[in-house]
Each structure stands twice: as C-alpha cells, then as structure tokens.
Amino acid sequence: MRVTLIRYTPDPELTIAAAARISASPSPVTEHLEKLTAQKADRLLAQLISAGHMSPLEHASFTFSIEGISRVTSHQLVRHRLASYTQQSQRFVSLKNLGFVTPPSIKGKPQLQAQYQQAIRSAFEQYLKLQEAGIPAEDARYLLPSALETHIVMTMNARELIAAAALRLCLKAQWEIIQLFENIKAETRKVAPRIGEELRPKCYKLGYCDEPQSCGLFPTLKDTPKPPKPH
C-alpha cells in the first residue's frame, strides 16, 4: 500500500481559520489571513472542532494517490460520498502484471495461503487467456478476484476526512481500511497537523463506544459510569 498526498489547499489550516473568522467580523478574509499565525489558527480550529462548528473545514481539501489497496477496500472507501474519486479502470486497462492483497489471517496459515494464492493466479491466467482468445478486457475482467490491487485518486475536504476517519480508524473496521486511514492520517499531519491529529476513531469524540461490543479503548454506553443522582 502506498498513500501519497499529491495536492492540497495551500496553508489549509490558515485558510479554514480565516474563513471561520469572517462569520463574526466585518473585515475581509484577506485581512484575517495576513494577521493569523499558525498558533492562532491551531487554537481556533481546536475550538471549532470541539464546538462542532465544522462547516469552515470544508474550505480545505486534500488529494491522495492511493496505490496497492484491494478492490475490497476501494469498494468500502467510495461509500464516503462527500469526496471525489478516480479509479484505474479494469475496462480500459488490460492488466498484465498480477498484484494482489493477502489478509493477515491467511498469511499466518501457510497451506491456506498457498491455496489462496494459487486460486488468484489461476483466475488471472484465465483472464489473460480470454483476452488472447479475443474477449475484450471489459468482459474478461469478470473473472478477476476482489483481492487484486487497484490505484485510486481521492480528494476529500477536511470535514469529511475527520468524519471518514472516525469510522475507518475504529478498531472494529476491517484491517486494510484501518491501515489505509493510518497512512492518510500520516500524510495529512505533514501539512495540517491539527487536522491530522483529529483523524481518530469516533469514540474519542463520543467518550464511549457506540458499537455493541467495545474493543477496549472506551466502554460501551451501557457500561459507562453514570454520574451520581443529585440528592
């Protein structure tokens, strides 16, 4: 898996902070941009996020190149609809090299791993044979397994990044998409440390786990200690 931040809003956190300032100021946004420091912007972003005033965060966007994830995970990723995606097409790109993802649960069992890998190689060989027989790639691809690697470009604004990470960094999520968002978090922190820090499981915001069973980070709501009743 390779995740690279390839484009982003210049000075993303200053842009968000300046946009937020004009909601309660007669001064133009350019004036706020000149006066804001990174420290002031950081404090303002922390206040906005803590208060749930998230709309200013939509003014900063981040574009990632994501390579080497499985089609299983790309199908989960594109369910976050407040984003833009461009994915390598199996219709127009005839695959020549086999790259696929093996889950850790299979890697730990040598015999099963060998069978798994052989099944994928067999499907890929049949895919190539179909094309050699004149079947177009768009039809031959029906044989391809979901484990095959794909390349996708994703653009998300900061608000949606936080919302998506709240779900996908939950330890109840599937291992590969957790790994993907850990990489997205690391890339985001390089240019927007406050936003990057906010990419974390939803339980940190809630203060409890809203799943039926907790992973252990936070107790479920029913197991959360109740404050004492007033006398």
46 lies in some domain:
yes
| Whether residues 7 and 79 fall in one domain | yes
Torsion over CA of 152, 100, 161 and 75, rounded to 10 degrees? 80
| Predicted confidence band of residue 221 (pLDDT cuts 50, 70, 90) | confident
The pTM for the full model equals: 0.92
Query: pLDDT tens, 159-208?
Result: 999 999 999 999 999 999 999 999 999 999 999 999 999 999 999 999 99
User: Residue 225's domain spans which residues?
Assistant: 207-231
92 lies in some domain:
no
| Predicted confidence band of residue 231 (pLDDT cuts 50, 70, 90) | low
What value does the mean pLDDT take over residues 33-54? Answer: 93
The overall average pLDDT reported for the chain is: 94
| Whether residues 15 and 79 fall in one domain | yes
Q: How far apart are CA 79 and CA 82, in angstroms?
A: 9
| Whether residues 160 and 178 fall in one domain | yes
62 lies in some domain:
yes
| Whether residues 78 and 19 fall in one domain | yes
166 lies in some domain:
yes
Catalytic residue among 71, 141, 159, 168: 168
Query: What is the widest separation between alpha-carbon atoms in the chain?
Result: 83
DSSP string, 172-211: TS-HHHHHHHHHHHHHHHHH-HHHHHT-S-THHHHSSB-S
pLDDT value at residue 222: 85
| Whether residues 157 and 51 fall in one domain | yes
94 lies in some domain:
no
177 lies in some domain:
yes
| Whether residues 106 and 18 fall in one domain | no
Looking up residue 179, the CATH number of its domain turns out to be 3.30.1360.170
> What percent of the chain shows pLDDT beyond 70?
98
Query: pLDDT tens, 1-28?
Result: 999 999 999 999 999 999 999 988 888 8
Q: Is 168 a catalytic residue?
A: yes
pLDDT value at residue 143: 96
Residue 209's Cβ-count burial label (10 Å; 0-12, 13-18, 19+) is buried
What Rg do the C-alpha atoms of the chain give, in angstroms? 22
Show Cβ contacts of residue 160 under 8 Å, excluding neighbours closer than 6 positions.
58, 80, 82, 83
Query: pLDDT tens, 145-164?
Result: 999 999 999 999 999 999 99
| Whether residues 131 and 107 fall in one domain | yes
